[in-house]
């Protein structure tokens, strides 16, 4: 009798564990009162990557940041976008006065681009870490790109800057669709791009990439903003060296 009630209790707890996306749940100790189990203490951890589908169930839960980390308003905005989508949208400002900025598709690729800039000796010029992946829709990419561009073009000082719109070769993400959001943001921020003397370097491959790259080339001609565009025929991080050469050149 008691054994059956404990079994039912454990099955119920497991159902809640799965439904609310716990990553850890401990009840220690628990006791029996009139044959019914009651937890006397409980500790649980939620999987923060499941926030996009559980924000209504979880309510107003705030996950703690790493020790000593404080989000800027722009980082907080991207964080809120990330929580509401099944895609991944990450953005961290490293140096607001940096002259090399990134907007990279793919978690692994985003780290490789940042590491490459550092390995080439220009980590001090790296303005941010940014990553979008998991096939975000056009509107999500638009809002994301607006933030990256606003930060990258802030406080122009007459010196050239570079924005790396990079990535590997996508397996399932429609490159043209994600580029549509970026292109819309670039059009909106035309005056800021020109004031900051921004040069854009694009490298991407994957489904529908030819259409996406063609639109990027056409955008450069339309806006009069320097844009270098490459597909999978070019090495993934080759544009990092080009961006560095650009910002360090006197012209």
pLDDT tens per residue, range 181-194: 999 999 999 999 99
CATH 3.40.50.261 residue ranges for the chain: 73-248
State how far the Cα of 183 lies from the Cα of 181, in Å rounded to an integer.
5
**Tens digits of residue pLDDT in 154-213:** 999 999 999 999 999 988 888 999 999 999 999 999 999 999 999 999 999 999 999 999
At 65 the pLDDT is 62
- Asked, as a colleague might, if the bond just before 110 is cis with ω within 30 of 0, I would say no
For domain 73-248, is the CATH number 3.30.365.10?
Answer: no
Provide, rounded to the nearest whole percent, the portion of the chain with pLDDT above 90. 68
CATH 3.30.470.20 residue ranges for the chain: 2-58
Split at pLDDT 50, 70, 90, the class of 132 is: very high
Contacts of 167 (CB under 8 A, 6+ apart): 104, 105, 106, 109, 203, 204, 205, 206, 236
> Pairing relation of β-strands 198-203 and 227-230?
parallel
The pTM of this model reads: 0.75
**Fold for the domain defined by 2-58:** D-amino Acid Aminotransferase; Chain A, domain 1 (3.30.470)
State how far the Cα of 64 lies from the Cα of 89, in Å rounded to an integer.
18
At 66 the pLDDT is 62
């Amino acid at each position: 009798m008691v054994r059956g009630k404990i079994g039912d209790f454990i099955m119920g707890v497991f159902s809640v564990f799965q439904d609310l996306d716990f990553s850890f749940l401990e009840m220690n100790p628990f006791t029996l009162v009139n044959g019914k189990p009651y937890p006397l203490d409980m500790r649980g951890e939620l999987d923060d990557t499941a926030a996009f589908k559980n924000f209504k169930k979880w309510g107003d839960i705030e996950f703690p940041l790493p020790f000593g980390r404080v989000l800027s308003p722009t980082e907080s905005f991207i964080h809120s976008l990330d929580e509401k989508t099944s895609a991944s949208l990450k953005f961290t400002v490293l140096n607001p006065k940096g002259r090399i900025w990134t907007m990279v598709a793919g978690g692994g690729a985003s780290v490789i681009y940042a590491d490459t800039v550092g390995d080439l000796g220009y980590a001090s010029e790296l303005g941010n870490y940014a990553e979008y992946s998991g096939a975000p829709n056009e509107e999500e990419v638009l809002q994301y790109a607006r933030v990256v561009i606003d930060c990258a073009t802030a406080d122009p000082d007459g010196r050239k800057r570079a924005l790396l719109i990079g990535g590997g070769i996508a397996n399932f993400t429609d490159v043209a669709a994600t580029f549509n959001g970026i292109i819309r943001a670039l059009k909106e921020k035309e005056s800021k791009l020109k004031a900051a003397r921004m040069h854009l370097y694009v490298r991407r491959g994957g489904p529908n990439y030819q259409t996406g790259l063609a639109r990027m080339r056409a955008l450069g001609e339309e806006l009069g903003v320097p844009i270098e565009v490459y597909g999978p025929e070019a090495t993934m991080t080759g544009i990092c060296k080009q961006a560095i050469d650009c910002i360090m050149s006197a012209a």
